[in-house]
Amino acid sequence: MKRRFLLAATLTATLVAGQSLAQQTNLRVFSGGQNQRPDLMRKLFDQYQAANPGVKIDIETGGATSELQRQYLSTVLNAKDSAIDIYMIDIVNPAQYFGAGWLEPLNAYLGNPAEVMKPYLPVYASANVIDGKIAAMPAFADAMFMYYRKDLLDKYGLKEPKTWDELAAAAKKVQEGEKNPNLQGLSIQGAPIEGAVCTFLLPYWSQGKDFNDANGKLTLDKAAATQGMNLWLNMVDQGVLKKNIAEVTTPVTVSEFKAGQVVFAINWGFAWDRFKDDADSQVKGKVGVMPLPAMAGGKSATCVGGWQWAVSAFSKNKAEAAKLVRFMSTPQASKFLAVEGSLLPTYQSVYTDADVTRVVPWFKDAANVVIAGRSRPLSKDYGQVSDVVRTTTSAILARTKKPEEGVAEIESRLSRVMR
């Protein structure tokens, strides 16, 4: 009897353990690289696991740049690999991934797109709905800002420049006054990375020009685009931009500004914390943030970035994955990322939340910049669009192509892609 009881108890324990394992859902999330703050995402995942003990979340990271992450995900998703359930993608990718059949439309899990996306900033609501389907959900916003040495502008009695010409003049005045041969006037991203797409678009947009129409068709104004690229080359000739600007990446700009070697720097929102908190930062308490300048007679325009959560079309846990994505896109998650990591919110109300502005006071002004920001072309062939624009922009800045030649090449190659 005793042996029979022990055997029954053992079988019961095994069955219970088996049921427990069967009920547990394992989700694997690709959470991008360091700039996407996987450390903070991990904390949010831990909160979700605590509230949902049947779910275990593993995190995978990698890729220092948007294009490296895109290359990795393209390999995984082309193979229809079910190992990754959820992945983080750039704002320009939902249309591309939707067209490739790589992501799971979320309408069935989350509801009507118009209602689901209504609370978000308009640029993220529109970028994440493709052909009436919710392709992804906003994780956090981003935009390019003009960071500047507030202490140096104050020292030389300079106001925040409103035009690119004013910026060049201000930078030269500071450089000449400081007599530091290593002090750059302005740092931009000229290497053939995703940031170079924005380097091409910023002066072009600030002339009031559109790169494409509402249907995604190319509307390139070659004269304005050429003028924009000549703006950068003239700054190189003036000594405002350094001569090897075609080699500068996003981390290089951050590192050099942080080291006190730059007066003005264009970079994404994440850079603020690097300047404010990093132990080796030489500019703590000396940094201002302002809207990007415009061409004379034009209007300030910035490049909107930001990251989205998508559910893989090949996941075996789509319903549970959609629940996690919804949690990661809530106002509470957005506020947590803003307070803990200065990651820009996707909800306008979070920008003025008292808890947020106490920690990151510049967010009060950042909202208007993000709302007025413009997205890079939302194309199902964005990989090709990006490759053409960033490599050509870098070649122009390296002076291996003339601006007119490079702009003509962009028009020729993209008119076939963006029809």
User: Do 316 and 273 lie in a common domain?
Assistant: no
Is residue 62 left, alpha or beta, with left meaning phi > 0 and alpha meaning psi from -120 to 50? left
Q: Is the pLDDT of residue 13 over 80?
A: no
For residues 319, 324, 326, 331, the Cα torsion angle rounded to the nearest 10 degrees is: 170
What is the predicted pLDDT for the residue at 379? 82
Do 264 and 357 have their domain in common? no
Please check the confidence at residue 19 and state whether its pLDDT lies above 90.
Answer: no
Residues 288 and 154 in one domain: yes
pLDDT band at residue 16 using 50, 70 and 90 as cut-offs: very low
- List the CATH number of the domain containing 150: 3.40.190.10
If asked whether residues 234 and 344 sit together in one domain, one would say no
Residue 90 lies in a domain: yes
Question: Using one digit for the tens of pLDDT, what is the confidence trace for 291-341?
Answer: 999 999 999 999 999 999 999 999 999 999 999 999 999 999 999 999 999
* pLDDT at 56 (0 to 100): 97
Provide the pLDDT for residue 22. 52
Do 357 and 253 reside in the same domain of the chain?
A: no
Output the pLDDT for position 331.
Answer: 97
pTM: 0.83
Q: Which amino acid is at 310?
A: A
pLDDT greater than 50 at residue 18: no
Counting the structural domains of the chain, the total is 2
Separation of alpha carbons 164 and 157, rounded Å: 18
**CB-based contacts of 50, cutoff 8 Å, min separation 6:** none
Lowest average pLDDT, out of 31-45, 308-322, 370-384, goes to: 370-384
Report if residue 252 sits inside a domain.
yes
Q: Is residue 360 part of a domain?
A: yes
Average pLDDT over residues 196-223: 94
| Domain enclosing residue 360, as ranges | 23-142+305-375
Pairing of strands 133-134, 129-130: antiparallel
pLDDT at position 169 over 50:
yes
Count of CA atoms in the C-beta half-sphere (13 A) of 112: 3
Dihedral of the alpha carbons of 314, 312, 320, 53, in degrees to the nearest 10: 100
The secondary structure of the chain, three-state, reads CHHHHHHHHHHHHHHHHHHHHHHCEEEEEECCCHHHCHHHHHHHHHHHHHHCCCEEEEEECCCCCHHHHHHHHHHHHHCCCCCCCEEEEECCCHHHHHHHCCECCCHHHHCCHHHHHCCCCHHHHHHCEECCEECCEEEEEEEEEEEEEHHHHHHCCCCCCCEHHHHHHHHHHHHHHHCCCCCEEEECCCCCCHHHHHHHHHHHHCCCCCCECCCCCECCCHHHHHHHHHHHHHHHHHCCCCCCHHHCCHHHHHHHHHCCCEEEEEEECCHHHHHHHCCCCCCCCCEEEECCCECCCCCCCCEEEEEEEEEECCCCCHHHHHHHHHHHCCHHHHHHHHHHHCCECCCHHHHCCHHHHHHCCCHHHHHHHHHCCEECCCCCCHHHHHHHHHHHHHHHHCCCCCHHHHHHHHHHHHHHHCC
Are residue 222 and residue 297 in the same domain, yes or no? Answer: yes
Give the chain's mean pLDDT: 92
88's CB contacts (< 8 A; 6+ apart) are: 29, 30, 31, 32, 36, 69, 139, 307, 308, 309, 310
391 within domain boundaries: yes
- The residues that bridge with 264 in the sheet, in sequence order, are 148, 186
How far separated are the first and last CA of the chain, in Å rounded?
Answer: 80
341 within domain boundaries: yes
Q: Are 306 and 140 in contact (CB under 8 A)?
A: yes
Chain segment 128-162, per-residue pLDDT in tens: 999 999 999 999 999 999 999 999 999 999 999 99
The token pair at 2 is 């005793």
The answer on 325 and 261 residing in a single domain is: no
Tell me: do 131 and 165 sit in the same domain.
no
pLDDT of residue 4: 42
Same domain, 169 and 226: yes
Q: Are residues 247 and 321 in the same domain?
A: no
Q: At what angle do helices 194-205 and 382-397 cross, to 10 degrees?
A: 80
Residue 346 domain-assigned (yes or no): yes
Whether residue 172 sits in one domain with residue 271? yes
| pLDDT score, position 378 | 80
Q: How far apart are CA 345 and CA 365, in angstroms?
A: 13
Residue 21 pLDDT > 60, yes or no? no
Same domain assignment for residues 258 and 368: no
In this prediction, residues 203-210 reach a mean pLDDT of 96
Whether 6 maps to a domain, the answer reads no
Considering the domain boundaries, does residue 74 fall inside one?
yes
